[in-house]
Structure formats: C-alpha cells, structure tokens
Structure 1
C-alpha cells in the first residue's frame, strides 16, 4: 500500500528510511546547472534535482565564527539557532540531543561519519558510533591530507589519504553502502571538503573551465565599498587575492571553483549509482546540501564572512523513491533538516529544537514554514529578508543597506527608503528575540566604515599548494 502523505512507502511497513547526507563545503546555491546555471557541468546533481525536491531559498542562519562552517555544522547537529546553543563557541553542545545520536536512540539508526568534522573530538564522539576517512580539521590541500577511521567512539591512527579529497570520501561512502546491513536503518553522513579552497581541482577539471570561462557574477566589484567585518583584513578568505580584485584573477579562481564542483559532482554520481545498485535502493533518502555559500568576487569579496545572499544561501535537494519531484521558493534554514529527518524517521523532534520540518512543504501541505530569514554574523552584521525586501545592518560602523530583491536579486542598488527601513528594522528586532540574539543593532561609538586597501596584504596561506602560491602569491 502506497500512501504518500502519511509516510509513503515506509508507512506500509515498520521499516524506516536510510539517510545518506551529502554535505558540500562552501558551495554557492547558484552552482547547479539544473537550478539555472548554464555555465557549470553538474549532471549528477541535475539528476538528483530532476528526481527529487529542490529548495531554492535554503540559508545558513549566520555564524558566531569567521569559520562559518563550524557554526553551520553546530546548528545542523543540534537543530538550533547558534544563539540558542549553550557554550557554542567552545563546542559545548555535546550533551544536547545531536541529530545522529537522537536518530540512534529514538529510531534505532546506525550512525556513520565520513569526511570533514570541524567541531572537535568531544562532539564527534557524542554524535556518531563509527566512521571512516574522517578529516579532523577545517581545510587542507585536497591532494595531500590525513584522515582517521573512527571505531566504536575512538579515532584510529592517522593515515595519508590515497585519493583526491572528494574521491577519498566517496570511496568510503560506497564501501559503507555496499556493506551496510538491512536489518536496521542507517544515517550516513558524508561531509566533503570541496569546493572549499585551496582551489586546486584535478587539472582536467580546471582546464575545462579555463577553455570555456564562465562569466563573473553580475554583482562583481573590484572593491567592497565599506568595512564589513570587525577585522581590518576582512578575514582569512579575503586575503586570497589582492585588492582591487582583478577580473582575470577572479575569473581564474572561478574556473578552479567550478572545477572543484564538477569533480565533486562526479563523486556524488558514484554514490548515487552505488545506492541505486544496492539492496537499499528503495528505502534510502539522499539529502544534498552545503554548509553555506561563498562570494567568489561578488561585491568585491571572496569569502563567506558576510550576509549577502551569495554567501548565506546554499543548494538543497532531497531525493528518494517516496520524495516527489518539485521545488519550493519557501524560506528554510539548513538546520531545519534536523526536524525533517525526524519527520521521515517518524519520531518527534526534541522540544528544545528550533528546526521545522520541510516535509509538509515537499508534500504540498503548506506553502511556507518561515515568514522571513534572519541572518546574524557575530555582532557585526545582521540581515533580515522578508522575501521582497532585505535590510543589512552594520552596527560597528553605523551603516545599513536596503535592497528590493524582487527587482534587484543580486543586491547591487541600496535604496534610501526610511519608512521601509523602519519596518524591516522592527521585523529584525522581532527575529532577534525569536532566535536568542541579544547583540545591539546600534553602538555608542561607531568606527569608520572606510577601508584603506593599500594597507591590506594578500596572504600566503599555509594550505595553498605550490602552484597556487606561485600563481597568486608571486611577491611573497
């Protein structure tokens, strides 16, 4: 018996769906061909989109850290806004109901991790039972890094990865899928390092885009017009190219970024094929998303330490035999996936979890779960988006931006509209209260907003491979 709205195929038996959670790192929402980018090659993500359900307004809910991936993963694993996570800056959330452990304890799931874990050993042990090819760090040369297997709560000896990062993790995922038993459901979490820098895809993937270069973003700028974070250097990411941003340099980095995405796409395709050819094909749900987006030259920025759409949005596709094909423009947060997986596993989410299930959106029962998106970045940047209008507030420099996203989706032309600003500011304050944010939106002695770019240095980052050092850091 197949009854979609009451649990689909799984409602006809006691069997719960397996979850394969594929998590990219630094992937912009606009880097999937099926979602409208004709300049990128992503045939496997395209087939996921064609068979599954896409969310076009999927956001990371800001960050307490310049390493936005740390905050995004903390929110995903806890299902909470970062302001509502106790001792969040020190990864003090191991005692909460973490998603993998909650699935294990309430629904009998086997939990398994592969790939990047950037939130410390204590939380890793609290979240997962076992794993393979775990990378305990934030970033590394994709061709030269160490991984560890995770057995019964213990990390094993480090070993050199045998393959390019995306391939290494896909190989471990395929092995797990082929060997996973059918007597209990599993939650397989595969956290890729791509397309995070260093942007060093295999040469053939880089050359593909060098030979047919994608255009720069419509909101490309040579310089960001004001200081958008508290640090003079505007964060590590912003030192990975010189100022002003030369179009040729941004174009090269975009080709390398797209190359990483396309190579990642091929590895995702291998995982999809392994699922389709396995005994788990009929009862596995694939979730594909990323921790956040990236600027890549938009607004004169390179990184994700900002509240523009390109940096806070990420792709999200959910696919499985019982997931209808479709898409939604409704707002959602990445951490809403906590409640969504609980919904598919037919267990109630923990009472303290902020996440809301996306399943009613997928099945057409409702039109929205959030009326707006609130995006707080530390205590230096805040944004509120109601679907038409978006307000940015920068308290430390007494500055704001107001965009009409319906007519200016790339956030290029800030408007002077005092009444609308006041209306959006009221909405922002309401969302501050809702999400536990207590940071001031006005400060007594604001700092200058101007940036003296002549004093900012390009950074030679220790993770950049030799060919990138020679190409982008010639004078260092």
Structure 2
C-alpha cells in the first residue's frame, strides 16, 4: 500500500541536504506510547468500568489488534528493552545493555523516516540513551531521560544538537526514607505540572508551530499510568475503589516465589494482597488512563484544527502490561498475558475503520508496518514482520505462535490454544500449562493433568526453536536460563 512517493528534484547541496517534494503527500505519523497499560483497559474494547472516550474514538476510526504482545524483558525495568524493540523492530536479546544504548548498525524508526524526508520530533519519556535519541529525532522538547519519577515534578531536558547533554543534576528521590543521590539529565522542572499534561501540551505547542513543508514523525511517550499512580483530582474522583471489580484471577499470593517478590513493583503492597488495596490501586490506575485519554483527545483536536488529521497515522500502544493484583502479582516481571499483552490501535489513511484483528503480533512489528504504509523500504536490520497483510485481510495470520521471557527466570510460549510457562527457582523447574480457550485468565494449571502429556513436549520444542532462531543465548539472561534449564530438567 503506497501512500506517497518521495522524489528528489535537486542535486545534493554541499551540506548533504537536498530539496525535495512529494508526488503525493506522505502521511504524518504520531506514535503514542504509554507506560504499564495492559490490554483490556479500553472501554470500546470490552472494559465497561473504564472511561476512555478518545481511545474509543481512535478504535472506531481505526483497527485494533487485540492479540498484540511484547516478548517480555531482559531486566526488571521492562520498559527499557521494550521501547528499544519498538524503535528498532528487533527482539530484546539484541542488546547486552538491555536497550540502554542501541548499536549504530541497528536502524531506528526515526532514522529511517529522516532518510525519507520526515521531520522527527519527540517529547516525553526516552529510556534508551541520549545518543540514540539524537539519532532518532531532529528536534525535541521536555524530554525525560529516565524510567520513572514523581509525575508532578519531572526533570526534563531540551534537545541538544551537540548530543552532549551535560545537564546532570543531583536529586534525592525519596528524602523521607533515604539520602542517596540520583544523577539525572535536567534543564528544568515544572513544579506541580503533571507529566501527562506537560508532554501533551508540548506536543500541541509543536503542532501549532508546524509549517507543513515536510511530513512529520512525532514520538509522544507518556509516563502514565506507571506508578506513583496519582492523576489530577478531576480524574481520581471518577472512580470509587469500592465499586471496582477485582480481576477474576485475583489471589492474595502467587502460588510460588519465582524471584520477583522483592522487585520494586511487588513491594508497593504487602503480602498477602488485600482486596481493598488492590481495588484502590486499580481505581488510581484507571484514573491515570482516563487522564492521558483526555490529553490524547486534545491532540486529536489540534490535528483537526490544523487540517492535519486526515493525513496523519496515529499509533497507540503500551510498552508492556501490568498484573495489578492478578495471580497475586503487581508488576510486569512475568509472562502471564496481563503483562505481555498490550493495547495496539492504528488509525489514519490506508487503515480500515472500526475493525478488529486477532492475529498474533509483536509490538516490534510496528516499525516495518509503518514503512509499508508510507511506501518506504524496510531497513535490513529490522526483524519484525509487517502487519500490512493483516490490515488488508482479517483472515491473514501473521504468526502461529509466540515466545516470551523474563530475565533469567521465566520462559514461555503459546500457540492458538495452549500456553506453556516454565520457571527456574533455585534448582527447581516449575511448569504451568494453560488452555487459553477454556481458561483465558490462566487460572487452571494443566501440568501433570492426564490427557495433556503430548502437548507439553510439543510446546517445549517450540520454545527451544525460538531460543535458537533468536540466538537467545548470546544474551547473559538467555545463557543463564538455558544453562540452568538443561542442568535441572528432569
């Protein structure tokens, strides 16, 4: 599907830049990434408790992928490798740095678009290094070079063409409990302005100044709904914790400790989890989602006011999901669907309206999909598969099975019916098998249940095939997991 063709009409000037025009107007692209929003958190896609009118409208005007996944993470800060995957179209075993830096030969989405004449701009969270940021974007404002922070006082940076970013400031992030100093890039703080408002307003201001001489790619990366979960009072008041439904798979404790109990996400509540505490966290979580939904609506309104809406592809996705009480967990350091499935909506020119796709996809398939949508070559370094055939034909299946991991502790795979999860805990392997048709909430472990003996070795073979195809053991976490797996497997 070719939306526009880019044509040089002048020889290159001495500074390496040329003058260009378009035979047809290539669409603008806005990539909106949120932090921690699991699948099942959009009203129009089935969750009637949550208020998301603007994401509902985006789903109505576009196509929603209801089986979009991340392949997991190599570190507890899952967002870092996850966002690196989005912007490289590669799986997470490609970087020993877990995505803190990206090698020069891994073409970034922003780089590929710049080479085709796009103006590239970013605001919000960037967890993948300053040099990588400048390779991706020709401009930026109010950039947060970190993982998480107080939403009301975010240290942000201006774009630095020299890539020096020598604006390091000292912070004590929790002065009530400790006096250790964190060093962060920071040009300023807007005291009392919520991160969601700050980043959305920055995006809107940039759109106001946009002249339309070249198509643009905007990367808008919210920190919401990551904890600390505190939205403006208007949104918090929309949800009464006492009226929030608990997840069907809520339990007070995970059936076994697989080495994540002391991770920061998991210590936000005491063990065992209490129903009232989980309801409160879900209410706060929903409030933050409704807050960024509101700001996304204002950005869409600005696109319409500027006459840009009809020629802009909007992509909405999350970098990973979140347990938030499911399976006795709070965080995303696991391979259950609540943590590896994410919302993904594409809307704009060339994209079917008000349609669903249930083909298995990864979030790093977005990069090649955008290349196909605007008619440019997919870089050779990209490993993802374009979703364009699925967009054009809902009967197309992009993948028959998927693979997941978490650090050196968990590996999982699923086909269209069954999911196998294996954990290494000390010198013991724990195995879970779920029938996703009968048990989508992954509550009933069928391992050792009569009648499923042939399924487990098939899925184990599938898991090991992914391991080899992805060259997983080049990564320290992959090497450690599989060495232990071979050692302790019965």
Normalised by the length of structure 1, the TM-score is 0.88
What is the aligned partner in structure 1 of residue 467 from structure 2? 432
What is the aligned partner in structure 2 of residue 418 from structure 1? 453
Q: Which runs of 5+ in 1 are unaligned?
A: 1-5, 448-476
What is the aligned partner in structure 2 of residue 75 from structure 1? 85
Match of 1:93 among 93, 100, 103: 103
Deviating above 6 A after TM superposition, structure 1's stretches of 4 or more consecutive aligned residues are 9-12
Q: Which moved more, 1:338-347 or 1:216-225?
A: 338-347
Matches within 5 A, 1:17-166: 17-85=27-95, 88=98, 90-105=100-115, 107-152=116-161, 154=163, 155=165, 158-161=187-190, 163-166=193-196
Check if 1:443 corresponds to 2:485: yes
Contact map agreement 2:102 2:128 (CA 8 A) in 1: no
Q: Which moved more, 1:36-45 or 1:84-93?
A: 84-93
Q: Equivalents in 2 of 1:310, 1:188: separation in Å?
A: 28
What is the aligned partner in structure 2 of residue 7 from structure 1? 2
Contact map agreement 1:55 1:317 (CA 8 A) in 2: yes
- 1:282-326, CA deviations, whole angstroms, 9 ceiling, x for partnerless residues? 211000001000000000000000000000111000011432111
Q: Equivalents in 1 of 2:141, 2:221: separation in Å?
A: 11
- Structure 1 residues 16, 164: closer, same or farther in 2, change over 3 A? same
1:38 to partner: Cα distance: 0.5
- Structure 1 residues 237, 365: closer, same or farther in 2, change over 3 A? closer
1:160 to partner: Cα distance: 1.2
1:203 to partner: Cα distance: 2.1
Q: Equivalents in 2 of 1:79, 1:85: separation in Å?
A: 13
What is the aligned partner in structure 2 of residue 185 from structure 1? 215
Check if 1:348 corresponds to 2:377: yes
Contact map agreement 1:94 1:122 (CA 8 A) in 2: no
- Structure 1 residues 196, 90: closer, same or farther in 2, change over 3 A? closer
Q: Equivalents in 1 of 2:99, 2:424: separation in Å?
A: 22
Q: Equivalents in 2 of 1:387, 1:444: separation in Å?
A: 27
Check if 1:226 corresponds to 2:268: no
Q: Equivalents in 1 of 2:28, 2:423: separation in Å?
A: 43
Check if 1:390 corresponds to 2:419: yes
Q: Which moved more, 1:137-146 or 1:261-270?
A: 137-146
Counterpart secondary structure, 1:113: strand
1:446 to partner: Cα distance: 5.4
Counterpart secondary structure, 2:217: strand
Q: Which runs of 5+ in 2 are unaligned?
A: 7-21, 168-185
1:278 to partner: Cα distance: 1.2
Normalised by the length of structure 2, the TM-score is 0.85
Q: Equivalents in 1 of 2:5, 2:485: separation in Å?
A: 53
Counterpart secondary structure, 2:68: strand
The number of residue pairs the alignment matches comes to 439
Check if 1:331 corresponds to 2:360: yes
Match of 1:405 among 411, 436, 445: 436
Matches within 5 A, 1:208-357: 208-210=238-240, 213-229=243-259, 231=260, 233-325=261-353, 326-357=355-386
Q: Equivalents in 2 of 1:7, 1:320: separation in Å?
A: 14
Counterpart secondary structure, 1:318: strand
Q: Which moved more, 1:212-221 or 1:408-417?
A: 212-221
Q: Equivalents in 2 of 1:328, 1:320: separation in Å?
A: 16
Q: Equivalents in 1 of 2:258, 2:442: separation in Å?
A: 15
